Amino acid sequence: MDGTAGPRLTVVDHPLIRRDLARLRSVETSHGEFRRLLADVSALVAYEALRSLRERSIEVVTPLETTTGHAIDEPVIVVPVLRAGLGMVDGILRLVPDARIGHVGLYRDERTRMPVSYYQRLPSGLEEACVLVVDPMLATGGSAVETVDRLKAAGAKRVILVGLVAAPEGIARIAASHPEMPVFVAALDRELDANAYIRPGLGDAGDRVFGTDH
């Protein structure tokens, strides 16, 4: 795990992530396999992102004696950025099945490259929760920043961004807007191209998750 790539950026470096990321990048990977791999990698990255969860001690009765165990002591809310972020949710719910789910719908205006909002539904209790914003592709960072802005306006105090592939430009924008927010990704790619796509990237994650690419 490499935490040196940015002020609050952690690139989760693991052989299983590197293996699955290579498959995710491949143009030959089917939609079904892409969905499965995205969920798997999301769980591995979220595992590290959730390392800071608060705990409390509990009493556990084993078959032999009573001992001390641990339980999670704060709620978790997962907020996927629609639509590609939906592909990450199932993997994270493997780790925290009681997490509640919010949704923020944004799309990028291809002319201005700015995020445009079309949907928002958030659960109550943001103030006390560890909120994970999940979005596979952190390109310009516009959608992530807009989502975090909305969450903070709704009362969220502890927000962690979990992604798959990020561009340096997007990480810089996130760090400038929300310098206190931890960011966890599977890979920091080389750059954005003239169309603001991540290079080498893995294509349009939403299209590949839902099979809408042509």
208 is catalytic: no
Contact 151, 178 (CB under 8 A): no
The 10s digit of each residue's pLDDT in 33-87 is 999 999 999 999 999 999 999 999 999 999 999 999 999 999 999 999 988 899 9
Flag whether 119 is in a domain.
yes
Domain span holding position 37: 9-210
With contact defined as beta carbons under 8 Å apart, do 77 and 129 qualify?
Answer: yes
100 is catalytic: no
1 assigned to some structural domain: no
What length does the chain have?
214
Does residue 161 belong to any structural domain of this protein? yes
For residue 2, count other CB atoms closer than 10 A to its CB: 10
Q: How confident is the model at residue 4 (pLDDT cuts 50, 70, 90)?
A: very low
Domain harbouring 49, CATH code: 3.40.50.2020
99 CB-contact burial (10 Å; exposed 0-12 / middle 13-18 / buried 19+)? buried
pTM: 0.90
Residue 4 lies in a domain: no
Encoded amino acid at 72, one letter: I
Under a CB-based contact definition with an 8 Å cutoff, are residues 146 and 173 in contact?
A: no
Give domain status of residue 115, yes or no: yes
Q: Is residue 3 part of a domain?
A: no
Q: Is residue 2 part of a domain?
A: no
d(CA 210, CA 159): 27
Domains contained in the chain, number: 1
Average confidence (pLDDT) over 19-43: 95
Query: Of residues 109, 112, 150, 212, which has the active-site annotation?
Result: 112
Q: Which of 108, 113, 147, 173 is catalytic?
A: 108
- Yes or no: say if 7 and 179 are a contact pair by the CB < 8 Å rule: yes
Which pLDDT tens digit goes with each residue over 100-154?
A: 999 998 777 767 767 777 888 999 999 999 999 999 999 999 999 999 999 999 9
Active-site residue (options: 121, 173, 207, 212): 207
Which of 8, 23, 90, 204 is labelled catalytic?
A: 204
**Can you tell me the distance from the alpha carbon of 189 to that of 12, in angstroms, rounded to the nearest whole number?**
13
Active site residue 112: yes
Check if 109 is active-site: no
- In three-state secondary structure terms, 101 is strand
